[in-house]
Amino acid sequence: MKQGLKLTVTRFIFGFVGLFSLFATATTTLASGSANQSQVQADAGWHKADPKRVCMVTNMEFPRDQIPVKVKDTTYYGCCENCKERLGKDEAVRQAVDPISGKTVDKAKASIAAGPDGSVEYFENDANLKKYVASQK
């Protein structure tokens, strides 16, 4: 009887492990499908970004609002405490060069475009942003 019980318990355990493995594989497959879908959506191209969702240190767009950083009367955004600190201390981090006009712009006052990979560019106005986006198609 003990031998039969051991065999039953062993089968149960292996069955459970097998089911768990199957579930883990299915979950991974579904997750990679979602990642592929996100990539397809991202491949749609450049778009105007919400400044609140841009880390102005890493120059990347995020799906959530970032940490606001007040410098004088201007609000910048950073993704972490390190970026928050850099925005507060380093004026150069708060500036960018408009790729159309070549002029230096304040990141908090700029029009911002985000690319399919999440990287951003800063522009002195929406007209330059639109020119840039059109040139990326």
Burial 21-50 (b: 16+ CB within 10 A, else e): eeeeeeeeeeeeeeeeeeeeeeeeebeebe
Q: Is 56 exposed, middle or buried (0-12, 13-18, 19+ CB in 10 A)?
A: buried
**Based on the structure, what is the number of domains in the chain?**
2
- Whether residue 56 sits in one domain with residue 95: yes
- Whether residue 71 sits in one domain with residue 121: yes
- Whether residue 78 sits in one domain with residue 29: no
pTM across the whole model? 0.68
- Is the CA virtual torsion 85, 120, 116, 38 positive or negative? positive
Six-digit token string for 110:
């700029």
Q: What is the mean pLDDT of each run of 10 residues along the chain (137 residues)?
A: 56 50 44 41 75 99 98 98 98 98 99 98 98 91
Residue numbers of the domain that contains 80: 47-135
- Whether residue 51 sits in one domain with residue 39: no
Helix (H, G, I), strand (E, B) or coil at 30: helix
